[in-house]
């Protein structure tokens, strides 16, 4: 299971003109591989991530998720692919305020049509694996920032995605927590064979990357193998 971008092109309106944000971007991420893309603010990192997540239209090229080029799919199948194979983690976990940690995860199982008892068991196991067993009945407001972010990652994993996308997953965390969360993300991605793309303007996720690419002027350049 993997993620591939082929010659992806995205332009956005910029006053009277258009600006090319992605200028024929090629990217291959294998199952279990963790790729980090850095770049200056406004360079198009979030746009790249949204395109990879099939959340955004591309003006050229294609995005291939788990071997399936979405262009070949009807709208419904495309939605299913997005919902079942892709998980996204944002800077803030975007948890639902009225649901406990375990309920956040169970909801994902519910959406995917999983039986309640099975979803509950998987949710409990995932939270335990991410060191959150004793937090499972807390509401988001009763969790620390780092715990919320870990619940967000657990929720993403609950969907059993082929592709995991993370937009600035450590930007709201400081020091140790930031390192912890990015290590956890990479470790889980490898263990579960999930193709993982992290975009970040801070350096923390780089320590755990298999590859580091830099986005500038619409193109992706390899920065060199990370020590990982
Ligand atoms: N639909 C759109 N219409 C017009 N401009 C857009 C659109 N989408 C993105 N942009 C512009 O494209 C540029 C890139 O945005 P993007 O959010 O991808 O940058 P980024 O690299 O994630 O930045 P940051 O590090 O600040 O999060 C920005 O200048 C943004 O305003
Ligand atoms: Mg961004």
What is the pLDDT at residue 228? 47
Residue 132 belongs to some domain of the structure? no
Query: Cβ of 23: how many Cβ atoms within 10 Å?
Result: 16
Query: Which of 15, 45, 201 to mutate for ligand 1's pocket (most ligand atoms within 8 Å of CB)?
Result: 45
Residue 121 belongs to some domain of the structure? no
Determine the angle formed by the axes of helices 101-111 and 116-129, rounding to 10 degrees: 130
Distance CA 29, CA 33 (A): 6
Decide: pTM greater than 0.75. Answer: yes
Contacts of 204 (CB under 8 A, 6+ apart): 170, 178, 179, 182
Residue 142 belongs to some domain of the structure? no
Query: Given pLDDT bands bounded at 50, 70 and 90, which one contains residue 69?
Result: confident
CATH number of domain containing 198: 3.40.50.300
**Phi, psi for residue 118 in degrees, rounded to 5:** -70, -40
Tokens of 211: 């590859």
Per the structure, the count of domains in the chain is 1
Average pLDDT over residues 165-174: 90
Secondary structure of residue 220 in the 3-state scheme? strand
Distance CA 124, CA 187 (A): 19
| Cβ(201) – ligand 1 distance below 6 Å | yes
**Phi, psi for residue 87 in degrees, rounded to 5:** -125, 145
Beta-sheet strand order (sheet of 219-225): 86-89, 163-167, 195-199, 34-38, 211-216, 219-225
| Cβ(90) – ligand 1 distance below 6 Å | no
Give the pLDDT confidence of 177-227 residue by residue, as tens digits: 888 889 999 999 999 999 999 999 888 889 999 999 999 999 999 996 545
Query: Given pLDDT bands bounded at 50, 70 and 90, which one contains residue 70?
Result: confident
| Cβ(11) – ligand 1 distance below 6 Å | no
What is the pLDDT at residue 1? 63
On average, the pLDDT of the chain sits at 93
Average pLDDT over residues 110-122: 95
Residue given tokens 């263990």 in the structure block: 191
Residue 107 belongs to some domain of the structure? no
Q: Over 146-192, what HEC string results? A: HHHHHHHHHHHHHCCCCEEEEECCCCCCCHHHHHHHHHHHHHHHHHH
Domain span at 172: 3-100+162-225
| Cβ(52) – ligand 1 distance below 6 Å | no
**Residue 54 pLDDT exceeds 70:** yes
Cα Rg of the chain, angstroms: 17
Residue 113 belongs to some domain of the structure? no
Residue 90 belongs to some domain of the structure? yes
Residue 42 belongs to some domain of the structure? yes
Query: Is the CB of residue 167 less than 8 Å from the CB of residue 52?
Result: no
Distance CA 63, CA 33 (A): 17
Distance CA 51, CA 44 (A): 10
What is the pLDDT at residue 78? 87
Residue 18 belongs to some domain of the structure? yes
Residue 96 gets the label, from left (phi > 0), alpha (psi -120 to 50) or beta, of beta
How many angstroms is it from 167 CA to the middle of ligand 2?
A: 7
């Amino acid at each position: 299971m993997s993620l591939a971008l082929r010659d992806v092109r995205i332009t956005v309106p910029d006053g009277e003109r258009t600006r090319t944000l992605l200028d024929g971007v090629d990217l291959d991420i294998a199952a279990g591989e963790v790729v980090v893309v850095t770049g200056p603010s406004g360079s198009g990192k979030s746009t790249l991530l949204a395109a990879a997540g099939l959340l955004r239209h591309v003006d050229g090229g294609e995005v291939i998720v788990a071997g399936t080029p979405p262009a070949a799919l009807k709208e419904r199948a495309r939605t299913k692919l997005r919902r079942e194979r892709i998980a996204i983690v944002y800077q803030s976990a975007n948890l639902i305020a009225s649901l406990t940690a375990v309920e956040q995860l169970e909801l994902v199982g519910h959406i995917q049509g999983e039986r309640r008892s099975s979803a509950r068991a998987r949710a409990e196991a995932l939270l335990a694996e991410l060191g959150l067993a004793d937090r499972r009945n807390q509401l988001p407001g009763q969790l620390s920032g780092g715990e919320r972010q870990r619940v967000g990652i657990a929720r993403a994993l609950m969907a059993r995605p082929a592709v995991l996308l993370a937009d600035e997953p450590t930007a709201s965390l400081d020091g140790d927590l930031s390192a912890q969360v990015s290590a956890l993300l990479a470790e889980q991605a490898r263990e579960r064979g999930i193709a993982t793309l992290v975009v970040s303007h801070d350096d923390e996720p780089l320590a755990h990357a298999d590859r580091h690419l830099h986005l500038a002027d619409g193109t992706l350049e390899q920065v060199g193998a990370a020590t990982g």
